[in-house]
Chain A
Amino acid sequence: MPDEHHIFPGRLVVVEGTDGSGKSTAINLLEDWLRAKGYPVYRTAWNSSPLIKPFMRHAKKKQWLDPAAFSLLHASDFYDRLDRLIVPRLHAGFVVLADRWVYTAWVRDHVRGLDLNWVKTLYNDVPRPDLAIYFSTPPDIAIARLKHASRKLKYYESGQDISGLRDPWSSFLWFQEQMREAYLVLVEQGHLQLLDATLPIFEQQKIVRSWMTPMLDSLALLPQFLDSPHQ
């Protein structure tokens, strides 16, 4: 990833964090807020390329993916979304809200034992976000949230491909602890801005919106919102 921020007219805001950290809830609220203010918004999620995802799902189900194949297939998915879906919208002045960015790959693939520089090189020309937030949640709280939502853990999601643990929840806890350490290093290095995701949701929103507001100043509204008293 280049050292400089991207030069597109649009804005790129990224949320990162472990599963169960509240990222999706936060991004839903941010999307509604931005739309109500009249900004063109586009959401994108990790591992969601319509071309790659069907095969990814199949390969995960069959447990075909060793760490290198896992990493490369996610990079393929990412670049498909970047080239076809994200960059055109950044050119067109959209606010792109990304539920995970390359940091997920850096952290997950490194925890899976791959060389971090190798992983970073895969994503060497990806735009640097205007704002990248790490939703910081202790793994036990994230697990409690997922259990409350009656979520079943999947093989790769729980890190069972590398932990060797048979119990998905034990594996998930171990995996998330490793990931959290790696995320906190990225916070220290200035790649991510830390948000305490144990705060009440409305408090989180106040903080994130205060971070985002200055970057929206010069951004063009959708035509129907120009001269609107609500802006």
Chain B
Amino acid sequence: MPKPVHTVQPEWSRVPPYYDGLYVGIDGLDGSGRTTLALALKTRLQSEGYPTVVVTPFPNTRTHQFITQVKHDRRLHAKSRHLLYASLFAMTTQHVILPHLTAGYVVLSDRSWLSLYARAVAQGLDTAWVRTTLGFALVPDMIIEPQSDPLSVSRRKLTVSDSLDTLESAPNRNSFEGFVEFQTQIHDILEGLKGEADWHLLNLQPDPSLEIDRIAHHIISQLEGSDAPS
């Protein structure tokens, strides 16, 4: 069932008017289980016969390497860094997301525009400006957020990384408190955006299978245009 395309800036004209697939944003804090959830959902949907692809904001390996290099470099200021991320997301939207949606895929976006927005605003950039820069981005048909809290994801980060990223820390605090504070800001910004989408908070602990079943059912009902309860 064709769906009208909505962009963050409603008057954005450079997109096709309809697509046949479903665009699902998976947003939430880093370390909340987004990627694990995306892969599990993909497996589930594909097994039911629905073509599914998982995308990240970076269109390919080369751009991912470049981002890693820029992050290590540290010289790029927040505004320039956000514009770079927005540019890469525009490439992903044009070359990966839109073609798959047009071909009828379920696109699971491991971070939609909302995550880019939340991170940029948490880093002190102006909300209206950031939203404008992301005007090209597609508004997801639904958002899935793995339930998490800033303290838990910060602790988890220390179990999988050598150190905490200072770009993702509030200034003038010790590194752990700064990191938790930054995650709290992102959490609060995402909370403020919940009215903008069909938003589903998933509790994946201790057993994610029931929640994945529930959301897969909801996705399928959306794809087929039925009113099946989620």
B227 at interface by CB-CB < 8 Å: no
B106 at interface by CB-CB < 8 Å: no
Contact between B76 and A80, CB atoms less than 8 A apart: yes
Question: Mostly helix, strand, loop or mixed at chain B's interface?
Answer: helix
B77 at interface by CB-CB < 8 Å: yes
- Which A residues contact B (CB, under 8 angstroms)? 49, 51-52, 55, 58-59, 64-70, 72-73, 75-77, 79-80, 83-84, 113-115, 118, 121-122, 124
13 contacts between A and B (CB under 8 A): A51-B73, A55-B66, A64-B91, A72-B133, A73-B83, A73-B84, A75-B83, A75-B87, A76-B87, A115-B12, A115-B13, A122-B132, A122-B133
Contact of B77 among A67, A80, A122 (CB under 8 A): A80
Contact between A122 and B83, CB atoms less than 8 A apart: yes
Say how far B41's CB is from chain A's closest CB, in angstroms. 27
Contact of B91 among A69, A115, A121, A124 (CB under 8 A): A69
Contact between B90 and A66, CB atoms less than 8 A apart: yes
Beyond A68-B94, A72-B83: 8 further Cβ-contacts under 8 Å? A58-B62, A59-B91, A69-B87, A72-B87, A75-B87, A80-B80, A115-B11, A121-B133
Given contacts A64-B59, A66-B91, A84-B75, contact A118 B80 (CB under 8 A): no
| Size range of the chain B interface in the assembly | 20 to 34
Question: Mostly helix, strand, loop or mixed at chain A's interface?
Answer: helix
Which B residues touch A52, using CB under 8 A? 80, 84
B136 at interface by CB-CB < 8 Å: yes
Contact between B83 and A118, CB atoms less than 8 A apart: no
Say how far A210's CB is from chain B's closest CB, in angstroms. 36
Contact between B91 and A76, CB atoms less than 8 A apart: no
Given contacts A51-B70, A124-B129, contact A68 B14 (CB under 8 A): yes
Say how far A129's CB is from chain B's closest CB, in angstroms. 20
Say how far B10's CB is from chain A's closest CB, in angstroms. 12
Which A residues touch B66, using CB under 8 A? 55, 58
